[in-house]
Chain A
Amino acid sequence: MQRFEFPRFEFVGRFARNRGALVGACLILVVALMAIFASVFFPTDPLRIVGLPELWPGEDPEFPLGTDSLGRDILSMIVHGARATLLIGLFASAVATIIGVGVGAIAGYFGGWVDEVSMRAAELFQTIPNLIFVLTIVVILGSTLTNIVIAIGIVSWTPIARMTRAEFLSLRDREFVQACRSMGMSDFRIIVSEILPNALPPVIVLSSLVVAGAILFESAVSFLGLGDPNVASWGRLVGDGRQLIRSSWYICAIPGIAIMITVLCLNLVGDGLNDALNPKLRDR
């Protein structure tokens, strides 16, 4: 039986061989730590008005990154915003991965009409422009964090489903799977314990990219004023600041840079994961 082995050290070594990925992973770790310890650094509500409005970064040592148009501490909003942003990214990616892998696995394994129906459904989702679809769902369901996660998950699952299906198609008639079948193993067990582990590496890479995509979607939704107004998120900060882009551009720029760095790092990590998990590149 050919199982996917997860040789830990070898994996770390191959991941670390990609310098970009290493830097990305370190920065993501910093963002994650910021998110985890946000309430330790800034115990008060980040959306509280604490100072004079539109203080430039450095103008008042109490607010190193300045304040926004209402007088809220931008540093506090960035740190707390990391939490909302990462949570949305991770959960939306999880939702997309669960739907995508589920649909893709069933379509690829069973083929026939099941495949036809699910791939046509996937195409239906793909034909609707993603951002507009997300906005529609958020407007209908209401702007809360959960709904935004669901909306992003619903639009992001199709590439994962297609990738999973392709992997399943190439694996389902391989000898080890036929062997399992001849042993009388159930379809469910073959899918979950035999094919899935072998199909997973590219899917993991794709999921890590969906996290980055989800962060961008959330930013766009918040930018357009449809984010959850009770939560500090980076996109919302950019959206609030755009009115003042000619005079106090830092209000947009600081969270914009935070979004850019995080998304870039997630993409670098995705590349690193690809290098580490792709058997074809193993001996590069």
Chain B
Amino acid sequence: MTIKVSRRVFGAGVLATGMVGTSRGSFAQGTPKRGGTLVATWGGGEPQACYVPAGGGSSPTFSSSKLFERLALRRMDGKFEGVLAESWKPSADFKSYAVKIRKGVKFHDGKDMTVDDVVYSVGEIWKKYAAASALTDFAGIEAPDAETVVFKYNNPTPEFFFASTLCGTVSYILPKHIYAGSDPVTNAANNAPIATGPWKFKEWVRGSHFEYVKNENYWKKDEPYLDRLIIRYVRDPAGRAAAMEAGDIHIGVFNPVAPPDIKRLTGTGKFVATPKGYEEAVWSTTLECNMRNPVFAKREVRQAMFHAVNREFIAKTVYYGYARPGTSPIYSPNKEFYTADTFKTGFDPKKAAALLDAAGFPKKADGKRFTLNLLSAGWFQENGKVGAYVKQALEDVGVGINLTVPDRPTSLKRIYTDYDYDLAISNQANPSEPVPSTTQYFTTDGILKGVPFRNASGYSNPDVDKLVASIKVETDPTKRKALVVEFQKIIAQEAPLLPLVELESITLASTKVQNHSNDPNFLAASWGDLWLAS
């Protein structure tokens, strides 16, 4: 099967009818207006670098995705669409894929993007950093001619998986002439990227904002519509609400303001709020057990941690209903793979206490079974509140808790580098394809010290590793789904890390902003098609 989409033809056809963008989403009216500066923010803090080769969380994803481009993207309707790739095709044995690369694409420094850049990016950046766990079966990439690259795999590779790999949020095509021969993690260009996207990096005023300007030589005709894009960081949700109300910020993705302010601002008629644009990046707030602590050796102890917590309460009180209890490592909006039929760790403090008793941790004289360090990652304000509640809930079943809520860099370091916690409240966002984004939190090859948002719990189970390995190579979609269901069942029962709640993320935008929320992972979309109505 060949997926061949030409954005240019597609766009031109729709433009003729004066309805660009409507086929990809709502929030668009009339003909795009050119020019203007869009100021955007998001519900988190400033990134550690503008671009982080391994991803580095949503913050650098947000800032880098406007500059860099991927080979493909997944559309709102679930179909895949080529970006820097024009089409791809598997071989008969599904062990290799030929990808046609778009011609006439230039980097921001004027150099042409060639298959060499693709071969370098996939072989050196994707394989080692951006998509390391998606490419464990990867046997190499070569360029037979000037417009084709061939991905080779040791084992059969499912098409959905391959296309999802091309769409990996930070699976960018990097300029080989800037990165070759350097350590990509510390390359100075990470803070002033040269890329192919609709936006060119201008400056980063630390503590304040990024300024991007229009890429005049962008390969996609007519885009970007805007002249400038500013990404501003405001530490505090109340501050973001005030800035948006004052007209200083036009759009905020991923819960920029507190829920009461969403109602207040949309009530003025000058703002719209939408949960659209997060279908391929469903967020959750997770609780994970550090397996290095011997109390978590028995899975009953880990299950007890979840039985003690009332997820409904968290969803209702901390998130004002913009969340729902999470049951499985794969989240309920995932139409391809989610199953509700898993082991249940619902709210049942009596059962939690019984499990802990049975596991050999009776209450001691001071009323405590043992004391744990609970780390609540301070990058979202809600995490601190979830932490305060989880502390109380666990103390109610006799588990002593020392709560800390460190700031973003300290939280990243303590959870993902130092493993300095017993229980951690963190967040993750996963696309529909479970391998590797979801599975790397549980597989042994996901234990990568110092790489954020991977297997920090240290959970290692040969059965899970084997299962994930077979999910990777199963090319029959039905059989593949059955394997993913099995994976969910095991993880929900083993409970090294489970979602407490799945978050309903909200984008808040001024009614002037057109064409937004039109990508299933809008935060990581290129935003070349956004425009401002007068």
Partner-B contacts on A (CB < 8 A): 45, 47-49, 53, 69-71, 139, 142-143, 225-226, 229-230, 240, 242-248
Contact = CB atoms under 8 A, between A and B. Distances in A.
23 contacts: A47-B388, A47-B392, A49-B317, A49-B389, A49-B392, A70-B318, A139-B407, A139-B410, A142-B404, A143-B404, A225-B384, A225-B405, A229-B384, A229-B387, A229-B403, A229-B404, A243-B238, A243-B258, A244-B258, A245-B238, A246-B260, A247-B260, A248-B260
B150 to A, nearest CB: 50
Given A246-B241, A247-B264, A230 B403 contact: yes
A52 B279 CA distance: 32
Contacts of A240: 385
B261 A246 contact: yes
**Contact-size category for B:** 20 to 34
Contacts of A47: 388, 391-392
Contact of B405 (A48, A70, A229): A229
Nearest to A245: B238
Nearest to A227: B405
Contacts of A229: 376, 384, 387-388, 403-405
A242 B242 CA distance: 12
A48 B392 contact: yes
The 3 closest A-B pairs by CB, nearest first: A247-B260, A243-B258, A229-B403
Interface of B: 236-238, 241, 258, 260-261, 264, 313, 317-318, 376, 378, 381, 384-385, 387-389, 391-392, 395, 402-407, 410
B318 A243 contact: no
Given A225-B381, A247-B261, 7 more contacts: A49-B317, A69-B317, A70-B389, A139-B407, A142-B404, A230-B391, A246-B241
Interface SS of chain B: helix
A141 to B, nearest CB: 12
Contacts of B376: 229
A246 B317 CA distance: 18
Most chain-A Cβ atoms within 10 A of its Cβ — which of B238, B376, B410? B238
Contacts of A243: 236-238, 258, 381
Given A47-B388, A53-B317, A70-B318, A242 B238 contact: yes
Contacts of B407: 139, 225-226
Contacts of A45: 392, 395
A246 B404 CA distance: 28
A243 B318 CA distance: 12
B378 A225 contact: yes
A225 B377 CA distance: 12
Contacts of B405: 143, 225, 229
A246 B264 contact: yes
A242 B236 contact: yes
A247 B391 CA distance: 27
Contacts of B406: 143
Nearest to B403: A229
A226 B411 CA distance: 13
A53 to B, nearest CB: 5
Contacts of B241: 246
Contacts of B264: 246-247
Nearest to B386: A70
Contact of B402 (A139, A225, A230): A230
B453 to A, nearest CB: 22
A243 B382 CA distance: 10
Contacts of B260: 244, 246-248
Contacts of A70: 317-318, 385, 388-389
Contacts of B388: 47, 70, 229
A229 B388 CA distance: 8
A69 B385 contact: yes
Contacts of B258: 243-244
A49 B376 CA distance: 18
A129 to B, nearest CB: 15
Contacts of A139: 407, 410
A201 B387 CA distance: 46
Contacts of A248: 260
A56 to B, nearest CB: 14
Contacts of B392: 45, 47-49
